[in-house]
Chain A
Amino acid sequence: MLYAAIAARAFRRYSTYTAATLAGIFTNCVFGAIITFAYIAVWRQNPTAGGYDVTDAVTYVWLGQAMIMTVAVWNGGATDDLAARIRTGDVAIDLYRPVSFLGWWLASDLGRALFHLLTRGVAPTLVGGLLFDLRYPAGLTAWLLFAVSVPLAVVVSFAIRMLVSASAFWLLDDTGVRNLQAVFAMFFSGLVVPLVIFPGWTRDLAMALPWASYLQVPADIWLGQRTGVDALAGLGFQVLWAGVLLAMCAAVLRLAQRKVVVHGG
């Protein structure tokens, strides 16, 4: 199938850079270790902060390191290529391909995400598991729910990054918007601190924003904080945001195709 072929090519493209992958894994592990000690200090003072125990918190750190590249929390991935193609005008070629524009780029990003999950995702988790005492999904159902939740997280992230890249149709240089988005994503995904320990109403707000789909929802499924109906509600939350954001992407792209003159003639 065409989209699978696109995804497979993207997977192979990323798999070319072995040294870069190893360097990235090393960096993820260093940061994982640093943050682990910070969280251990927090949970030693307050053993039930955010409804997590210290094992949950430490596991959360390593899941976060695993998700950074998989979900492309601070940008990167197929949508960065798209932004460059909009600037140079190469996007004209993408627009007259007899394939769905959105589908093409989504497939490419999913291929990338799979590669990053198997390398930058699995490796830090294994290292974290060797260095510290981690918690693992309690049973087959939890594993399955987690396996559904991760691709959904990638789709939500893709849609947001796509909207950012599409801003290049108007702004030409999307780096400013991209960096600003990265700030929100990094913080509201719960990568810096778990959303569950946000105080008061900020917690509810953060849990309702689309970035909660990146890490907090999959992590809670992994940790067994969300089981049964709660877990399904988590997946529903991700599906909802994925749908809304993809619809927005489609609308924005339609507008761009009508209004915008492509560069490079």
Chain B
Amino acid sequence: MASPTTRTAPSTGPAPTPAPAPLRRLGGNLRWGFRAYGLLALMWIRVSFTYRTSFVLLTLGQLFITALDFVAIVIMFANVDVLGGFGLAEIAFLYGGSSLCLGLADLALGNIERLGNRIRMGTFDAMMVRPVPLFAQVCADEFALRRLGRIAQAAAVLTWATASVDVDWTVGRALMVPYLVACGTVIFLAIFTLGAALQFWTTDGSEAANAFTYGGSTLTQYPLTIYPVEAVKALTFIVPVAFVNWYPALYILDRPDPFGLPAALQFSSPVAGLALCLLAGLAWRTGVRRYRSTGS
């Protein structure tokens, strides 16, 4: 996901190596991109420690706000025994999975959603002239370590759910859990990037992106059996958030697909992730290319 309009790392001239030059350049770009991202993130972490009280309260706030999401589900279960045919532990598994993936993606590049604001204020131009990959800058901008709050809470729920669900744990099932988290995170990373890239066209529309990121996470907290079948198909083939946790979870929880969709979907999360990443990369590149400064 290196961005196109950035300068490359200082090159040291034509050094004779076996790898072809374009590939080497890409590797160098990527390494420089990640390094720049790390340095910027570190800087913002130091900044956040300046107002210590605020940092602690913000992290706790993140933890509580997501914890209450789960308490809400528990309250629903004070009134019912099953929801859409799934018990509390199973829904906790779905919730923990989707919330953890969103949390990780949000930590990595959540502030990308402020792109529209930056375009409006003209500060995006300043980023473009810096000799640091643009995408790395945008992702690391105001890197918010407090988001560990959500991650910690989601991980706790996922751990509890994994221990509580009535499943015959095979090696394959156990391996599916980290696989779910990895694929789901990639899917949310791509959705965040897509939402941000759209702001090159609609500067004020950042809130619409929330419908897909946070909305996607809220939606997949519940078993998809509560939605109409058309919606589930749309969530599989159009906005593929069903691949974040629903399809892997069907395999892990040993459930036949309630909608009778092919079992192969349960292993297709990487395909969905890759497709979304390609789309997000394309949208981002196109957006950066067509970007004209606000002109003020």
Interface of A with B (CB < 8 Å)? Answer: 17-20, 22-24, 26-27, 30-31, 34-35, 37-38, 40-42, 45-46, 49-50, 171-177, 179-180, 182-183, 186-187, 192-193, 197-199
Shortest Cβ distance from B222 into A: residue: A38
Beta-carbon contact of A193 and B211 below 8 Å:
no
Beta-carbon contact of A20 and B205 below 8 Å:
yes
- 8 Å CB contact of A187 from B68, B208, B228: B68
- List the 4 closest pairs (A to B, CB-CB), nearest first: A176-B57, A19-B204, A179-B61, A45-B80
Number of interface residues of B (CB under 8 A): 42
B226 lies within 8 A of chain A by Cβ: yes
- 8 Å CB contact of B61 from A18, A176, A197, A199: A176
Shortest Cβ distance from A16 into B: residue: B204
Interface of B with A (CB < 8 Å)? Answer: 51, 53-58, 60-62, 64-65, 68-69, 71-72, 75-76, 78-84, 202-208, 210-211, 215, 218-219, 222, 226-228, 231
Given A26-B208, A37-B227, A187-B71, answer yes or no on A173-B218 (Cβ-Cβ < 8 Å): no
Chain B residues within an 8 Å CB radius of A22: 205
Q: Once bound together, how far apart are the Cα atoms of A189 and B103, in whole Å?
A: 24
Kindly provide the distance from the CB of B80 to the nearest chain A CB, expressed in whole angstroms. Answer: 4
Please report whether the interface of chain B is mostly helix, strand, loop or mixed according to DSSP. Answer: helix
Beta-carbon contact of B69 and A192 below 8 Å:
yes
Given A19-B203, A20-B205, A23-B208, answer yes or no on A193-B76 (Cβ-Cβ < 8 Å): yes
Chain B residues within an 8 Å CB radius of A174: 54
With A19-B205, A27-B215, A180-B60 given, can you name 11 additional A-B contacts, CB distance below 8 Å? A20-B207, A23-B202, A23-B208, A34-B222, A41-B83, A41-B84, A182-B65, A183-B65, A187-B71, A193-B75, A199-B78
Chain B residues within an 8 Å CB radius of A20: 204-207
Chain A residues within an 8 Å CB radius of B215: 27, 30-31, 34
Beta-carbon contact of B54 and A192 below 8 Å:
no
Chain A residues within an 8 Å CB radius of B71: 187
Kindly provide the distance from the CB of A195 to the nearest chain B CB, expressed in whole angstroms. Answer: 10
- 8 Å CB contact of A175 from B58, B218, B219: B58
Task: Return 9 A-B CB contacts under 8 Å, by A number.
Answer: A17-B204, A19-B204, A20-B205, A26-B207, A31-B211, A45-B82, A179-B65, A192-B69, A197-B76
Given A34-B218, A37-B227, A42-B79, answer yes or no on A183-B64 (Cβ-Cβ < 8 Å): yes
